[in-house]
Amino acid sequence: MYDRQANRSAHDAFWILVRDNLRASGIPAPDELDRTTDFMTGWGRPDLVLGQICNLPLRANFLNKVTIIGAADYGIPDCPAGHYNSVFVVHRDAVGDTPCDFARARFAANNLMSHSGYGAPQAWAQSNGCLFRTPLITGSHDRSVAMVADRRTDIAAIDAQTWLQQQRDMPQAADLRVVGVTGHAPCMTFITHQGQDPAPYFAAIENAIAGLAKDDQESLGLRQIISLPAADYDLPMPPLPQIIDA
């Protein structure tokens, strides 16, 4: 889920370690990562070996169709292990100091099926007495940042781990400022196809993280894999866009 040009080689190195660990456990695994299949199709494949899924599509479409292995932990500040949040970003010159100051402004989201870009900010808004407008769908967090930086939209919520990476490799991030953070939720969760024993997959990932070279570990930011209780995923679904603007 955090595969970027700047850390692509680190993801490849991580996969090689995971792959070899899986094969050592008797689980067939492909030689290379698949970067061509779209996420929704990949998560639903009956032969899925390993994927990483956002908790909103997991809850909405895949909870009873895949095997949960564990949640990735990136050491997000003020979040429990295996959890993450989103940061609300606006242009550095925008007038307003809290997300609710921008509730009726132009809201951008990477995808309606994104917890970090849509579900988490709407949940935050509901608990703070406001709702964001029907969002402009940008297709990616990078595109959302670029559009806020260019002032084509006013506010967006960005996955905290993505935001950290964007500050390293996206010049437009310097044109933005953070005005708030959402609540925390399960981070990107490793899954495999339905009906599998998660234990050997968990061990393969855990050992791969431990075996990463220091530079690759720093590039990915992946600290550990965490087994979360099912209750952590029991979150309300975000409101539908047409209800927000009614």
The CATH number of whichever domain residue 56 belongs to comes to 3.40.190
Residues 101 and 174 in one domain: yes
- Average pLDDT score over residue span 128-153: 96
Helix (H) or strand (E) segment spanning residue 67: strand 66-73
Round to whole Å and give the CA distance between 93 and 72. Answer: 35
Position 76 confidence tier, pLDDT thresholds 50, 70, 90: very high
Residue 151 domain boundaries: 86-183
Residues 174 and 104 in one domain: yes
pLDDT for 112? 95
Residues 18 and 49 in one domain: yes
When divided into structural domains, the chain yields a total of: 2
Residues 112 and 143 in one domain: yes
Cβ(113)–Cβ(57) below 8 Å: yes
Cβ(191)–Cβ(52) below 8 Å: yes
Instruction: Compute the chain's Rg from CA coordinates.
Output: 18
Residues 179 and 92 in one domain: yes
pLDDT for 241? 79
80 falls within a domain: no
- Average pLDDT score over residue span 117-139: 95
Residues 202 and 172 in one domain: no
Domain finish residue from 131, 164, 183 = 183
Residues 178 and 193 in one domain: no
Position 16 confidence tier, pLDDT thresholds 50, 70, 90: very high
pTM of the model: 0.95
235 falls within a domain: no
169 falls within a domain: yes
26 falls within a domain: yes
From residue 142, alpha-carbon distances to 3, 32, 102, 136, 229 in Å are 12, 25, 20, 14, 31
Residues 192 and 70 in one domain: yes
Round to whole Å and give the CA distance between 234 and 229. Answer: 10
Residues 167 and 154 in one domain: yes
Residues 92 and 179 in one domain: yes
pLDDT for 246? 52
Give the chain's mean pLDDT: 96
Residues 56 and 127 in one domain: no
**Domain harbouring 162, CATH code:** 3.40.190.10
Residues 68 and 107 in one domain: no
246 falls within a domain: no
DSSP summary character for residue 66: E
Beta strand pairing call for 107-109 and 155-159: parallel
Position 244 confidence tier, pLDDT thresholds 50, 70, 90: confident
Position 239 confidence tier, pLDDT thresholds 50, 70, 90: confident
